């Protein structure tokens, strides 16, 4: 019998405003599915990010951080540069280029790609 495989992960992060979160991720090119009002599903390529309404969420104390591997963090930065929450990429000692994006609820998404060479 074959070993079961894990197919994907879809982190669920907090939001205090579903509409604002939808607009933020739409600007990053994510498709939006707001089927339930208190829950938001976003998708870009094979990456899904989910958000759950948490009105009492304190972004200074309980924000999430996830790492998303991408083909080219620098190209994403050129595409997203100027959007609120998008920071310049950082070349890391662990041979990755990380593009930090902080959403309106202070969730940190690091989009990382291997450094060239």
All structural domains of the chain with their residue ranges: 12-55+62-114
The pTM for the full model equals: 0.86
Whether 80 has a pLDDT exceeding 80, the answer reads yes
- pLDDT value, residue 7: 74
Query: Which residues on neighbouring strands pair with residue 92, listed in sequence order?
Result: none
Has residue 91 got a pLDDT over 90?
yes
Q: What are the pLDDT digits (tens) for 17-73?
A: 999 999 999 999 999 997 668 999 999 999 999 999 998 888 777 678 999 999 999
Vertex 47 angle, CA 41 and 49, to 5°: 35
| Least confident segment among 56-60, 74-78, 95-99 | 56-60
Burial level of 60, CB count in 10 A (0-12/13-18/19+)? exposed
Query: Higher confidence at residue 84 or residue 56?
Result: 84
Q: Determine the pLDDT at residue 37.
A: 82
- Give me the residue label for tokens 């990755």: 96
d(CA 88, CA 102) in angstroms, rounded, equals 12
> Using an 8 Å Cβ cutoff, are 15 and 51 in contact?
yes
CATH for the stretch 12-55+62-114: 3.10.180.10
């Amino acid at each position: 019998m074959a070993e079961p495989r894990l197919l994907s992960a879809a982190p669920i992060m907090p939001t205090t405003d579903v509409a604002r979160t939808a607009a933020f991720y739409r600007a990053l090119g994510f498709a939006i599915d707001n089927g339930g009002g208190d829950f938001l599903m976003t998708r870009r390529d094979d990456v899904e990010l989910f958000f759950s309404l948490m009105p009492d969420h304190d972004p200074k104390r309980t924000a999430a951080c996830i790492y998303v591997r991408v083909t080219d963090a620098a190209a994403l930065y050129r595409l997203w540069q100027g959007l609120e929450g998008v920071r310049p990429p950082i070349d890391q000692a662990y041979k990755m280029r990380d593009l930090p994006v902080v959403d309106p609820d202070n969730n940190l998404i690091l989009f990382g790609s291997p450094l060239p060479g």
